[in-house]
Structure 1
Amino acid sequence: MTVTTTALAPRDPWSLVPSLGNLDAYIRAVQAIPMLEADEEQALARRLRDQQDVQAAGRLVLSHLRLVVSISRQYMGYGLPQGDLIQEGNVGLMKAVKRFDPDQGVRLVSYAMHWIKAEIHEYILKNWRMVKVATTKAQRKLFFNLRSLKHQFKGEADDAHVGRAALSEAEIHRVATELNVRPEDVIEMETRMAGGDVALEAPADDDHEGPAAPLNYLSDDLQEPSRVIESHHRDWLSSHGISQALEGLDARSRRIVEERWLKVNDNGSGGATLHDLAAEYGVSAERIRQIEVAALKKMRKVLEAV
């Protein structure tokens, strides 16, 4: 049974789809949404192209969400959550809908497959453990086809087993020939894909007595660039910066700040008290406090502008 274009028009089509937080419910919901007939798809696509009808775009996207779910299953072997794959695929679907031309004579399902896969490919390359290893077009093709070719060579097996099984020299040359890459590229990609993950942090148990985790020796906080810059800036402020800020004060304000904050008594305690300075200048302690606050505020502005 088909649903007419006007049946869902009064409501937001996305309200029919639950959040990706509940993946099973989401998949059931999108599988229940009927596909559009060819004439309905053409009419909606023309409304989007000619009138920028957002409601029509929503209907086109909504009816093809099941396609994204189906394509996402092809990339489950990379250890990434299916919900994330679907989310990225949905972005590709929306890009396809935006660029779809109903006068090209093809259905949206055929046109959208390229955009969905392209978006998922980008996500995998950015987030898999081999971050950004596939940079050229040939390397990307090798990355996304090596696993399936290994399945063909080794027979039907689980992904973990296929990932560990090394290719023979004949198989390496066969892959290189089929994908038009160098045998060395196949060997390099095979090595990287077969490599295991290393935890940066040690296990959270108290009985762990193994070797130090990489996180303990890979970085030195003291030599981290932002820390070094911050330290140098702080040293400059404590010397030249404060001197520059003091130069902008009148004589009385400068002496009050110096006596209160920059001098230490012989017994190791802080500088002069408000009452000491009040007696010296013949004013109240509250007046000294007001001068001090105003002077510090003026100095802070100077230091912030440095």
Structure 2
Amino acid sequence: MNWQENNNRMDNLDEETFEEQTGLQKYLDEINRHSLLSAEETLRLAALVKGKSDKEAIDKLIVSNLRLVVKIAMDFRKYWMEGFLDLVQEGNIGLARAVKKFDPDKEVKFSYYASFWIRAYIMKHIMENKRLIKIGTTQNQRKLFYKLEKEIRRLEMFGEKPDPAEIAANLDVDVEEVVEMTWRLNGSEVSLDAPLNFEEKNTLNDLLSCNGPTIEEIVTGIEEQNLVRDIVVRHESSFNEKEFAILDQRLLSVDSKTLKCVADQFDVSKERIRQIEVSLLGKLQAIFAREMPDRVAA
């Protein structure tokens, strides 16, 4: 079965039928029958695609990476209240696009390169169908859905410690609405300043401040995000291990890890990771100024 037949089969199964046949599990069982490729085999097939547009090589690269699509689509579930397999289908189209555009001579892992195209097509689908996203019923709820996490990041950038009252004042909403939206986005109704447990001082802010892009950013910034990811892939060798971890796990991730998570990987403080992140942003600014001077302010 090639990837197009795979997507067609998904189209032909309505929601009720998919539920009866265990839906996602059935799909996973099917794609798990395809073996993962070694790095050498991936490059060999990619060379055939680049040189001859070999159809068999294209299909093999796609079906062996369908699990990657499912993994990435899972990151978007909190933004999408409709059928999860819709996201998988869009991601599969992005994967097919990545296979045809991948250059095996660039010394970039195919899975890393493909992940950008997969995310791009999933985000495009969300953007085009944003009316289906569950964002609340009142104007203030919608405002908070789009701006809550961004406002927390902005305050922390200036060294301030956000709290519900300050956020409510800045966004012109009630404190109760801030707490309610925090619960909606994070699954528990707790104060932003409440410790996560009795053994550490980290609060909900540590989690909120490191989440991935909001829906507003997905909807309005899709083209810019894709361009940034493409540039980062081309300059991958310019970043050291810590910088690359921050790029991969925080700046370019949908569900970004906290500063503490990244710091623990390298046995350094959260403040050290924050310092590296600031320095990294400066490095990225210089790269973007060279790559797209018309889009970067002088």
Q: Who wins on radius of gyration, i.e. which is larger?
A: 1
Q: TM-score, normalised by structure 2?
A: 0.42
Q: Per chain length, whose mean CA-contact separation is higher, i.e. which structure has more relative contact order (CA < 8 Å, sep 6+)? A: 2
TM-score, with structure 1 as normaliser: 0.41
